[in-house]
Structure 1
C-alpha cells in the first residue's frame, strides 16, 4: 500500500527483496510524494540481518499518520516485515499503522524513552487484510473535509485556536483533532458540535507550534525538508544567546523557522562555537593607542582574529588574539602603544586572501583556455565552380 499521491507505488518497503528477507522503510525514492509520508521520521533497522541470541523481543514500533509512533506487543508472534500494515488495538476499537521498527532496536528505544511495557500494553491483532486497508483508506479520506468543517465551526464559536490536523481512527469510531493555541480554550461546546457532525468520539489534543510544523511538514530556508518532520523528535530549548555566540544577526525574520520560533538548527553548531570562544578574550572597553581609541568591530572565532577600527575611520585592522592580549595588558599598566603593528588594513588583506584562494581557479581556466582551439573564421560560400561566389538574389545574371 502506498500513499495516494506517490506515482511509483513503492512507498513503505525496499524493492527487490528476496523471499524471507527483512527490508527497511526507505520511501519511494523518487521525491515526487507531495504528502511527505514516505520519509517522515523513518527508522532504519541496522540489526535486521543480525541474528540475536535468545527469544526475539515481542514489542514492535508502529507508525501512524504524522509520524506518530507507539509501541505494541506482538503476542501472536506474527512474522512481520518493516513496512507491513498491521491492525493494532486502541482504547476503543482498532487502528491501522505500519511497522517502523522491531527487534532489539525497539528494546533500546523503549529504554531510551522510559516507556513501561506491561500486560496492559496494547497488542497487535493481525496483519491488515485488503478489506482492512480499504476501510482505512475511507477513514483517511475523511480527514481533510473534517478539518475544513471543524475550522468553520470554530470560527462560528469564536474560539481563539488553530486546528492544524485531523486523524480518524481506521474503524471511524474516534477522531483526534490537533490544535495549537497561546491561551486556554473552552472547547466543550465545540466537542458537542463535532460529535454530532461526524458521529464519532472526539478527542482534542493540544500541540506546540514546533510539533505542528513537524506534522504539516514543509521546506526550510536551507532548501531541505524540515528537520522536525523528517528526523528530529526531541525539541530542546533555544535562546537568542545561541545566535549571539555565533555572531549571527539578530533578525527575527532570518532566525525564525516556519513555526514562528527560533530555528532548531541554531543549536547544531553551538557547542563548537562555545569551545572556540574559550580562547577569545572579552573586550570590555576600547584599546588605547597613540593614534586614538580602537573599538572592536567583529570577531572571527575560528581564525582567532579580532577586527578593530578607530571611531573616525572606516578601515578595520585585524589583530591576532595574542596581540590583543598584549595591548590590553599594556593599557592596564598605563602604557599606550604607538600602533597595532599591522601594516595592511582589513580591506587590502581580504583582497589578497581572495586572490590567493582563486589562484588555482585562474590557473585551471588558463590551462583549458590554452587547449581550446581558436574559432575559425567563416568562409564565404562558393558557387558550383569553386571560385565564383554564389549570386545574391538581387544580382542579375547576364
Structure 2
C-alpha cells in the first residue's frame, strides 16, 4: 500500500512524499495494520469501539480512549494524554480491529493504564512537535559525547521527544547496571528539559535502528516482528547448522530470530528418527552414528575402529537392526543392508523451442580463406661474374 506520492517521478526515479515516517495514509510505515473492516457498517444499534491505536516514533504504538467521541480516521494527528503534559501521535487504527489488537497484546480496555485522547492536534501543536523532532539527532550526538566523557559502559541508541517538547526519553543499551545519576544531571543542565532514561534490549535496539540482514531483506524486527522469543544454540544444532557465531548472529549481536522459524518442522521430522546416541550391535562389531540427513531420511554409521568407512541406512533399516539386537539376534553386518543403487541417468537438456543459446542472434565472424601455397621450386640465382660484367658508360654528345 502507498499513497500517490510514492510513485515514480521523472527518469524513473522515486518521487516520495518526504514526510520521513509520517505518511498521511499510513501506508509507508513499518508495522502498519490494514483496516479491512473500514468499508463495513456496524449492525443497527451497535456503537463504535471507543478506543484507537496511535503510533509514535519508530513504530511505538499505544492505545487511547476516545472519550469525547471525536470523529477520527487513519492518518489524523492527535494530542493524547501523557505524564506530564501531552504527546502528539498519528492514528493508525480505529474500529473493531483495535479490540482485536488490544486482546492480542493483553491490554484491558477498562484498565487504569489506558489514557485518553484530548483533541485533534492544532497547527501550533504540530509546529512544536516538528521542531522537537528536528533537535533529536543533534541531542543524541551530544548525549553520546557526555556518556563517553563520564566513562559509562552504555550506548545511547535513540532520543525521543514528547509532543509538547517537555520531556526527552533516552533509549540506551548496557550489559551491566549503570549508575547514570550524574549523567541525568548533566543532561538536564545541557538540554534544559525533563530527562527519562529507558533501557532496552539489543533486539529492540536493532528494531528501532533498522537495517538489512544477511538474506538481503530488511530486518524482520523492524518490519513485522513484534514479539522477541529467546533463541538458543540448540535451534542451530537441530537444523544441523555449523555453530559459527559470525553466521548465526544478527545485527544486534544475538542469535538470529529466523532460527526459530523452521525449528518446529525439524523437531517433527526428528521424531521419526532413532536417537543418534544409540549404537547398532552387529556380529561384525558395534556401529556409531556419524551423520543424519533429515530431508533424505538417511543415517550414516561407521564401525568402531573403522571411522573412515561409512554406511548409509534408512530409518526403517536402523529400527530393524535395533529390534534384532534387543531380541538377541543381531544381524551379521551393515553391509547387507546397504543397497548399491544404480546412478540415475543425468537429465539431458532438450531444446524444444530452439532457444538454447544466448548468442544465437550474433552474426558469426567470417573466416578468411587462405590461398593454397603452390609448391614451386626456387631457381638457383645466377652468380654475377665480375669479370664479364662491363658497365656501360653514357655516350658523349658530339
Work out whether the TM-score is over 0.5. yes
Contact kept? 1:288, 1:337, Cα under 8 Å:
no
Partner of 1:263: 256
| Deviations 1:75-120, CA, capped at 9 Å, x for gaps | 2333322222222221122222111111111111212222233485
Q: How does 1:269-284 map to 2 (within 5 A)?
A: 269-284=262-277
2:216 to 214, 223, 228: 223
Q: CA deviation at 1:285?
A: 4.5
Counterpart check, 1:137 vs 2:130: yes
Q: TM-score, normalised by structure 2?
A: 0.78
Q: 2:75 is matched with which residue?
A: 83
* Counterpart position of 1:318: 312
Alpha-carbon contact 1:330-1:337 (below 8 Å) kept: no
CA distance in 2, matches of 1:256, 1:298: 25
1:69 match: 61
1:327 lines up with 2:321 in the alignment:
yes
Task: Please state whether the residue corresponding to 2:243 is helix, strand or coil.
Answer: coil
Q: Distance in 2 between matches of 1:299 and 1:129?
A: 65
| Structure 2 Cα separation of the partners of residues 365 and 129 of structure 1 | 68
Q: 1:370 to 1:145 in 2, by over 3 A?
A: closer
Closer/same/farther in 2, CA of residues 288 and 363 from structure 1, 3 Å limit:
farther
The answer as to 2:331 corresponding to 1:341 is no
Q: How many Å apart are 1:175 and its aligned residue?
A: 0.1
Residues of 2 paired with 1:169 and 1:374: CA distance? 65
Q: After superposing the two structures, state which structure 1 stretch, 298-307 or 185-194, moved more.
A: 298-307
| Cα contact 2:283–2:330 (8 A) shared by 1 | no
Deviation at 1:364, TM superposition (A): 4.8
For residue 222 of structure 2, give the secondary structure of its aligned residue in structure 1. helix
**Taking structure 1 as reference, are residues 287 and 264 closer, same or farther at Cα in structure 2, changes over 3 Å only?**
same
Instruction: State the Cα distance separating 1:201 from its structure 2 match.
Output: 0.5
Q: Deviations over 1:268-304 (max 9, x none)?
A: 1111111111110013244355666543222122331
Show the counterpart of 1:18. none
Structure richer in helix, relative to its length: 1
Residues in 2 aligned to 1:301 and 1:50: alpha-carbon distance in whole angstroms: 48
**SS at 1:368 equivalent:** coil
The whole-number CA distance in structure 2 between the counterparts of 1:80 and 1:65 is 20
Cα separation, partners in 2 of 1:274 and 1:161, compared to 1, 3 Å: same
The answer to whether 1:111 aligns with 2:92 is no
Q: CA RMSD in A?
A: 3.1
1:369 aligns with 2:356: yes
Q: Distance in 1 between matches of 2:111 and 2:241?
A: 52
Q: How many residues align?
A: 350
Q: 1:43 aligns with which of 19, 33, 36?
A: 33
TM-score by length of 1: 0.78
Structure 2 residue matching 1:142: 3-state secondary structure: helix
Q: Per-residue displacement from partner, 1:52-72 (whole Å, max 9, x unpaired)?
A: 221111110111111111111
Match of residue 142, structure 2, among 142, 146, 149: 149
Deviation readout 1:26-46 (Å, 9 max, x if unpaired):
21xxxxxxxxxx3x2221212
* Residue 365 (structure 1) shift: 8.2
What CA deviation, in whole Å up to 9, does each residue of 1:305-332 have, x standing for no partner?
Answer: 1123456465643211011111223344
User: Which residues in structure 2 correspond to 1:1-398 (within 5 Å)?
Assistant: 7-9=15-17, 25-27=26-28, 38=29, 40-53=30-43, 54-118=46-110, 121-288=114-281, 293-309=286-302, 312=306, 314=308, 316-332=310-326, 333=328, 335-338=330-333, 339-344=335-340, 352=343, 356=346, 359=347, 362-364=349-351, 367-369=354-356, 372=360, 375-378=363-366
Bigger mean CA deviation after superposition, 119-128 or 68-77:
119-128
Q: Deviations over 1:174-202 (max 9, x none)?
A: 00000111211111111111111111110
Q: Does the Cα contact within 8 Å between 2:54 and 2:63 map onto a contact in 1?
A: yes
Q: Secondary structure at the match of 2:37?
A: coil
Larger radius of gyration: 2
